[in-house]
Structure formats: structure tokens, C-alpha cells
Structure 1
Amino acid sequence: MATRTAPFSGFEFLIAWRYLRARRAEGGVSVMTWISLIGIMLGVAALIITLAVRAGFRAEFVDTILGSNAHVTVYSAPMEVAPETGIFSSLMPDYAARAARIAQVPGVTRAAPLIRGQVMATMNDRSNVAEVYGISYENLMTIPRVAHSAQIDGEIESFGQGIAMGSELARELGVAAGDTVKLISPNGVKTPFGVSPRVNAYTVVYVFTAGRWDIDRTRIYMPFAEAQSFFNREGGADEIEVMVKDPEHVDDLTPQLIAAGGAGTMLWSWRDASGSFLRALTMEDNVMFVILSVLVLIATMNITSGLIMLVKNKGRDIGILRTMGLTEGSVMRVFFLCGAFTGTIGTALGVGLGVLFALNISHVMDAVNWVSGGGAWDPSIRGIYELPAKLLPWDVAKAVVLALGLSFVVTIFPARRAARLNPVEALRYE
């Protein structure tokens, strides 16, 4: 009479491992086992690599936003400044007092008055459109991606004697630190014949790389007082650039910032500017996870095929084991372990391959660039200069749980089929 044994006893692991390693001549399915294992390994690796790249891209994109742009921009609603002419202006004449009040709000690390304007930057026969930010030297030093740029030319300490320029704009103009460029503003001096463009020449004292192609290609920093004069903003500021301790929860400070800014204050946060793009990234992440999960499922289905063939080839063995006293549960666990071994080994190899690939993503992209002849990663399209990867423990855990869960689930059906095999039928023709 069959006796019950403890679930997953040592002999069950021994038999399962023996069947898994059996050659085809011995009634095994080693080829199918290898196909299943490799499929799961590649599926898990692809899932981990994709999640790491998506997390890295999002982190780098957000970091370049927060490291070179205002977390919150405070500006004033247009107000009528000359009732007799009906002229409206959003210039802040009390910018110093507003900035001081905003800086006192808990959670705010900096409040800097800014002048903003667009110009045509020219040198020799080259020209390009640029956006000028008028800012003081002290406030410029608090912008991480500019003051502590990874690639610089010149000295930021000389900012009061000239202007700072993005590296891509400098490259397109053929400018290096120490060169002189002309800035042309359409809103210049007012004359009886109209407004004439203003043209001034400035020395480029500092070239920075912020890490965002669109910033490096268009941005120029100019001393605040000089920008006031150049753009006809004497005695005022266009906006106040606000940095906060916790940019992810910047919306929580909205009531305090509006109260500190006073009447007519309006806000524009980094989430307002980039929120739709970040939401699109989140949706794309979810879609990619679902698609790659289907690929992992397809890979695990090979386990089912291999186990069905194994059960068919091992019918005689199953009959003998049953007559020796193994219960249906023991037989089921033996074949369940066959599939579980394949899923576990394939998942472990996939994690190793995915982590190795993600940690060396820069070398992989260098190889791709070499094979393709360059241009595999275009910063003008993707915004950042290189493909980043960020391994998160939660992403690796999701891939592992998904692969193991699917491997265990698809193993149940053929394992139950083996357990229900009638030993009499299995041995009838032996």
C-alpha cells in the first residue's frame, strides 16, 4: 500500500534532477530543456535590460530638468501700466522684495530674479537663435548642471565680464572661451522712426554642458544688470526662478508660493512643463512590461512541451515508481520540480545576463556605434547625450517573480498528467 512521504523529499529532487539531465537516448528531452532554459534566460534578460534603460532614461531626463531649470517659475499676470495708452506689462518692479518673501517659504532653497529674452547670436558668417537668461553670478553658481558641468571651457568666475554659453550653441557658432559674439535683439532702442534692433558684442567667458541637447543648443547666461539694459528691463525682472528641496512634491508648495508672491502671482512648475512627457514615459514603461511579459510566457510554454514529452517517454518509469509505493503527489512533485529547475536556472542566468548588460550599457552602445558607423544615438531626437541604465532592485524582483511564477504555473498541467497516469496501463506491454 502506498505510504505518504513528506512533500518535496530528497528522493523527489534526485529523480527530477536525473530526468532533467537525461539524454534523448535514455528517454530524456535535453534539447527541449535547453531550448526552454535559453528562452527563459533571454526573456528575463530582455525584461531587466528594458526596465533598467527606461528607469535610467527617466532619471537622467528628470535630473537634467531639475539640474538646469527652475523647479517653479513665478511670474506676474499682465497689468495695465499706462491707462491712457492701454499698455499692459508683466514686468516685476518689486522683484527683490518678492524674491525675498518667496525665499522664506519652507522648502524653498533659492529664489532668483531673471531676465529672459530671445536673440540672434552671430560670429563671423555663422548665426543661431538663442535664449538669454539674465541672472546674477551668485544665483548662477547654484545651478548644478551649469556651475558644475562635466565638460567646460573657460572660467565661470569671470561671468561678470562676459556671458556663458551652451556647448552645442558654441559648437555651431564655432565659439570657444575668450571669443566675442554679437547678440542681436529685435526690441532695441526706440527712435522717432520706430524701434531699431540692438546689437552688442560680448566675450564668451564660460562654455558649459548641461546634459540636455536642447538646453546646450539654445541657452546663454548674461549678468543680470547687463540683461536689464540689453532687453529694456531697467528696474524690473521678468520672472523669479525658484528651487525647492523636494521637486517631486513641488505642487504642495503652490498655496504658500502664491501667498508670498502677492497679488497677480502666477506659477509654472517643472511638472507643468514636462508632466505630459513623463506620463507618456510611464505609459510606455507599462506597455513594454506587458509585451516582454508575453515573451517570457512564450518561453515558459516550452517547459510544458518538454514535460509532456518527458511524461510520454517516462511512462514505464512512472508505472514502476507507482508500484514501488510512490503516491500521485510524489509523482506530481517530481515532474513539477523538473519544470521548476528549468525555470529557476533560466531565470538566474537571465538575471545575470541582464544585470551584466545593464551595467555595461555604455560599452554596448559604443559597439553598436562602431558597427553602424556612428549615429546610433541622436541627442537631437532623444534630448540626452547617451543611453543610460539604472538598475532598480524592484525592477529585478519583478522580472524574477514573473519568470518564476509563470514557470511554476505552466508546469502544473503536465505534472498532474504524470501523476494521474495509470500504472497498470503504463506497464501493460512491458
Structure 2
Amino acid sequence: MSGPAMFSRYEFMIAWRYLRARRSEGGVSVMTWISLIGIALGVMALIATLAVRAGFRAEFVDTVLGANAHSTVYMVPQRIENDLTDEVYVVAGRIQDYDGMAQKVADLPGVTRAAAVVRGQVMASAHDKSNVAEVYGIGKADLEAMPRIVDPATLRGDVAQFGPGIAIGAGIARELSVSVGDKIRLIAPEGARTAFGTTPRVNSYEIGFIFNSGRYDVDRTRIYMPLDEAQSYFNREGVADEIEVFVDDPEQVADWTLPLLRTVGEGAQVWTWRDASSSFLAALDMEDDVMFVILSVLVLIASMNITSGLVMLVKNKGRDIGILRTMGLTEGAVLRVFFLCGAFTGVLGTIIGVILGVMLALNVESIMAGLNALTDGGAWQPEVRGIYRLPAELRAWDIFRAVGLSLTLSFIVTIFPARRAARMNPVEALRYE
């Protein structure tokens, strides 16, 4: 005849009665509450932290991809030797047939768009204020395909005015105290060529619209200008500096590096958005792992309180254990009863922690807004973080990791005091009763 099944109903009943300690055994009840609260807070912190880290990375990547090319193709500088003077000149790499090259690149499988770009640095000034800026000469259709630059929710002005006017970042507009319709002066060191050498070129341009890309460094330094105007302004007539490439899977942008090099030919170089942000992305990944380990230790410390509570419970219930063993309960049944006592605490604390963690993650932006208001913007500084807000992104995998970690630790630390209770000699337990 087989014995009762494992984790039978009566085992759950006994475990639940032991958790509901009487007033005389208030120490056990207090330890149970401390364990439960500690696990709940640990799981809450773990879920909220993982959500914030995931949201920060997603926002960072979105701002990078929304305002920059996924890959950039450019030509390496050329060294030209003068046989008469033995002097060596370094000539910047230029792309001659940029329209044809952009079309060949755009025809590659997986490439969604390719655009020729002219780049140059200038000094922008207005109202006796000045700021260093980087000018991107680009076609209007290519500019309109950049979601973070032409986002209707954040831009000021009209994209249709790009052509007669230029587009500047919100940071530049703020520092120069200009708005849509105002004019700014751009001073380029490589300007007009004269008999006496190259003189700086100074032109005034009307502001067609002001964009907010979500990245502080882009908004503070970037200006967009029509491609033909940029070619004339920077003495790039008939050439482009680089080809910006956009692919359908930016996360796997490295897969297009070799095809791009083969398509463009000798002397070409490819620079991806991952190359530009590799150190920052690696730091984020390392920080995610470190934060998970640190918060896991906090959950472990909270779980250890379950051991303390169960040790006290086993000591208080020594007489009950002896009686149950003499009535026929096996060691396994006693072990499962006290295992369930600890498991109840771990499961309930984990459930509460998940609820609190999800609620905290969903309200991170409101909380940060309140902290910024209290600290006059000191809680989140865009010039330091690079982005303007701190979003949270709840991912099922992160919640699963937090729940799995909490339950695993809770179950493991429960086994040792439960085994002590199961191995208790019933004769010794009842000797002095």
C-alpha cells in the first residue's frame, strides 16, 4: 500500500497553521514579516532597475538611429608626392560620382536608403553670441526620412522651409537666442579661394525649422543645409564627403560592412553606429550585469531571513514535530511541511515585489520629473546623460529573471532548516514534555 502523495493537502494545512503564529510565538511571526518585506523590496528594486536600464539603452539607441546613419561610407585620405619638391600632400578623400555610388549601395539587399552628405565645421553666431557647429549638407528627401529630426511633436517651424532656409538643433537655437525665421551667420575657415589664399567664408542663412532629436550633443552642435548649398559653401562642387547608409536591421549593421566595401571599391572605409557608440554600449552591458549581481545579493540577504525564521519555528515546534512523527509522519512529510512554510513566504514576497516593481517602472518618468522639480533639474542632467528623459522598458525576460532568482534563493535557503526539523528525533523532542 503506497503512502500519501507528496505535498498533500494536510501538509499545506499544517504549514499554513505554523505560519499563523500565536501571540506567544510572536518572534516567528515578526521574522516571517521581515522576510516577506525584504524579498518584496529586493524583487521590486531588481525589476525596476532592470526596466530602467533597458529603457535607457532603448532610448539611447533610438536617439542615435533616429538622427544618424546606421553606416557611413567614406574614402580614406590620399597621399600625393611632389616629385619636384619631394613634399607629400594629404588630400581629403572625396566621392566623385556620389549619386551613382549611393544608388549602387541602395540596391544592396537589406539596405533601405543611401544618401550623399557634405560635412563641415563652422562657427555659428547671432545676437553677439556664437557656438561651434557641424553642418550636414543633405537632400531634402533624405532629411525628411530621419524620424527624430522631422518629428512633428518636437520640431518648431515647417520642414517645407528647408531649402530656402536651414535646420538647426534646439540647443544651438537656445544658446544663440534665435527662433524660426531669424538669420544666423555661419563662418567657415575653408572659404573662398583668392589670389592671396583661402579666406574664411561668411554667409547668413534663415532658419527654416528647429529640431529636437532627443540627444543633447546633437541638438547643441548640428545644422542641416541643402546639399547643393553645402557643396558651394564648403568648396565641394561636384563631390560629396560620405554616403550615409540605412539598413532594415540596425542591430546587425556589421553584416553589411563587407558588402559595402565590395560595392564601393578600393579606398573605401565603413564606420557604423555601433563603432561610434561601442564603448558606451559595452559600458551599459557591463553595468547591467553588475547591477543584476548586486541586487541579487540584496535578494539573497532578504531570503536568509527565511532561514532565521524557520530555525526559530523549528525550535518552537519541537514538541509538535515529535507528536507528528509518533503519529506516523515520515521525515519527508515533516521536511515538506517546513519547506512549504519558507516557500509561502518566498512566493508571497515575490508576488508583492513584482507588483511593486512593475508599478514603480511604469511611473519612473513621473518620479524623475518630481525629483527634477525638487532639485531644480539636478536629478537628471541632459548634458551629462546625453538624452533628455529616463524611460523604463518592462521586458518579460527581466521579470522572469527576477522572479526565478527570488524563488530559487527562497527555496534553497528553506531546505536546510526543513531538513533539521525532519531529522529531529521524536524521543528527544518529547523527553521533557
TM-score by length of 2: 0.96
Distance 1:17 1:5, change over 3 A: same
The equivalent residue for 1:411 is: 414
Structure 2 residue 212 is the aligned partner of structure 1 residue 209: yes
Would the aligned equivalents of 2:149 and 2:155 in 1 still touch at CA under 8 Å?
A: no
1: CA distance, partners of 2:158 / 2:88: 45
The alpha carbon displacement at 1:375 in A equals 2.0
User: Could you tell me which of 379, 388, 394 is aligned with 1:385?
Assistant: 388
Structure 2 residue 254 is the aligned partner of structure 1 residue 251: yes
The equivalent residue for 1:193 is: 196
Q: Deviations over 1:115-168 (max 9, x none)?
A: 000111111111100010000101101111112253111001110111001111
User: Could you tell me which of 239, 261, 265 is aligned with 1:262?
Assistant: 265
The equivalent residue for 2:56 is: 57
Q: Secondary structure at the match of 1:268?
A: strand
Q: Which runs of 5+ in 1 are unaligned?
A: none
Q: Deviations over 1:263-285 (max 9, x none)?
A: 21111111111112111111111
Letter paired with 1:48: I
TM-score by length of 1: 0.97
User: Could you tell me which of 128, 144, 149 is aligned with 1:146?
Assistant: 149
Letter paired with 1:412: I
The alpha carbon displacement at 1:382 in A equals 0.5
The equivalent residue for 2:12 is: 13
Moved more, 311-320 or 295-304: 311-320
Would the aligned equivalents of 1:99 and 1:111 in 2 still touch at CA under 8 Å?
A: yes
1: CA distance, partners of 2:277 / 2:64: 9
2: CA distance, partners of 1:248 / 1:286: 20
Structure 2 residue 274 is the aligned partner of structure 1 residue 271: yes
User: Could you tell me which of 228, 233, 239 is aligned with 1:230?
Assistant: 233
1: CA distance, partners of 2:263 / 2:81: 26
Moved more, 32-41 or 316-325: 316-325
Q: Which runs of 5+ in 2 are unaligned?
A: none
The equivalent residue for 1:308 is: 311
The equivalent residue for 2:47 is: 48
2: CA distance, partners of 1:374 / 1:236: 45
Would the aligned equivalents of 1:19 and 1:28 in 2 still touch at CA under 8 Å?
A: no
Letter paired with 1:64: T
1: CA distance, partners of 2:17 / 2:27: 9
What's the RMSD between the two structures over aligned residues? 1.6
2: CA distance, partners of 1:155 / 1:188: 29
The equivalent residue for 2:68 is: 69
2: CA distance, partners of 1:169 / 1:20: 64
2: CA distance, partners of 1:235 / 1:80: 21
Q: Secondary structure at the match of 1:160?
A: coil
The alpha carbon displacement at 1:372 in A equals 2.8
2: CA distance, partners of 1:200 / 1:83: 35
Would the aligned equivalents of 2:127 and 2:177 in 1 still touch at CA under 8 Å?
A: no
Structure 2 residue 142 is the aligned partner of structure 1 residue 132: no
Letter paired with 2:353: G
The alpha carbon displacement at 1:193 in A equals 2.9
Moved more, 255-264 or 276-285: 255-264
The equivalent residue for 1:371 is: 374
Q: Deviations over 1:69-127 (max 9, x none)?
A: 01110001223579577542311121111111111111111110000001111111111
Q: Secondary structure at the match of 2:240?
A: coil
Distance 1:83 1:277, change over 3 A: same
The equivalent residue for 2:242 is: 239
The equivalent residue for 1:362 is: 365
Would the aligned equivalents of 1:27 and 1:313 in 2 still touch at CA under 8 Å?
A: no
The alpha carbon displacement at 1:191 in A equals 2.5
* Counterpart mapping for 1:274-285 below 5 A: 274-285=277-288
Letter paired with 1:160: G
Would the aligned equivalents of 1:27 and 1:310 in 2 still touch at CA under 8 Å?
A: no
Moved more, 78-87 or 60-69: 78-87
The alpha carbon displacement at 1:259 in A equals 1.7
Q: Deviations over 1:311-361 (max 9, x none)?
A: 001111111111222111111111000000000000000000000000111
**How high is the sequence identity, in percent, across the aligned residues?**
64
The equivalent residue for 2:292 is: 289
